Structure 1
Amino acid sequence: MHNAHKKLFVPAVIAATLTIASLAGCSGGTGTGYGSSASPSASATAESATLPSSFPKNDVPLIDGTIIVARGDAENGWSVTVMPKGKTGFADATAALEKAGFTPTTPATDSKAVYANDKYTVAVGTLGVSVTYTVTAN
């Protein structure tokens, strides 16, 4: 019976890892620090990160909150993780993207969605409270 649980656990871990990797896949940084930087306990004492100067802040709305991770550039795309002020960060993020003229490219789930407009594609997701944006130019 223990082996049956172990056999089911391994594919679930692989699927979770792929989901996390897809949300952080277009960062221009080294790819380290996503797990610990985005956790609520670590971010409670973390200082705010600064958006890269090339981030399209006038075109891609971010939710209000503390920026925990901000990496990337115009050539490779950006990855930004925000610890929202409230508990509805993911819903607020998707609503802000739609209000800014982005349309869903795939059906959204409770924790991830992909939006696009004529300039950018934005994958937005949450693993709990924090919200991660992966932004690429079209």
Structure 2
Amino acid sequence: MHSRKKLFVPAVIAAALTIGSLAACSSGTSGGDSSPSASETVTAATLPASFPKSDVPIIDGTILVARGDKDNGWSVTVQPQNKTGFADAKAALEKAGYKPAAGATDTKAVFTNDKYTVAVGTPGVSVTYLVTAN
């Protein structure tokens, strides 16, 4: 089990490095303007029942994507209420006792505690979390 964990953490870090490109691809815009038009509505998702809400702080905002389970991990994308969502996400994780891993950038970071590894990233304003149980 311990060797599996050692292999898993680098995989999460690699996944964190691709969050920005994956989230950017998921926007699905065809023109140069990525802002929703007045006729477009954003449908809010809800966190899966198994998501560790009390252990993993999620920033305030509209949850755009939320899926996963304890066995496979969770993916959550939030459209924050302000433009400091990524900084707010990092600060909330550190306040909750998560330790940042080396290699963080202005758009991607990985945090760990005894229970979970959380990779956060932003392609712009939205914030994507990849959460896995340790």
What range is the shorter-chain TM-score in? 0.7 to 0.9
2:20·2:123 contact (CA, 8 Å) conserved in 1?
no
Using the alignment, how far apart are the partners of 2:112 and 2:48 within structure 1? 21
Aligned-residue offset at 1:131: 0.1
2:65·2:76 contact (CA, 8 Å) conserved in 1?
yes
Aligned to 1:19: 18
Selected match of 1:122 from 112, 115, 118: 118
2:98·2:112 contact (CA, 8 Å) conserved in 1?
yes
Using the alignment, how far apart are the partners of 2:76 and 2:35 within structure 1? 15
Q: Which has the higher contact order (CA 8 A, sep 6+)?
A: 2
Larger Rg: 1
Aligned to 1:49: 45
| Structure 1 SS opposite 2:36 | helix
Q: Tell me, yes or no, if structure 1 residue 81 matches structure 2 residue 77.
A: yes
What's the RMSD between the two structures over aligned residues? 2.4
Selected match of 1:92 from 77, 88, 91: 88
Change in CA separation of 1:40 and 1:58 when aligned onto 2, cut-off 3 Å: farther
What CA deviation, in whole Å up to 9, does each residue of 1:14-65 have, x standing for no partner? xxxx7238878xxxxxxxxx6137x6538x7211101000000000000000
Aligned to 1:61: 57
Change in CA separation of 1:67 and 1:22 when aligned onto 2, cut-off 3 Å: same
Q: Please tell me the residue identity of whatever aligns with 2:120.
A: V
Task: List runs of 5+ in structure 1 lacking aligned partners.
Answer: 1-17, 25-33
| Structure 2 SS opposite 1:41 | coil
1:55·1:78 contact (CA, 8 Å) conserved in 2?
yes
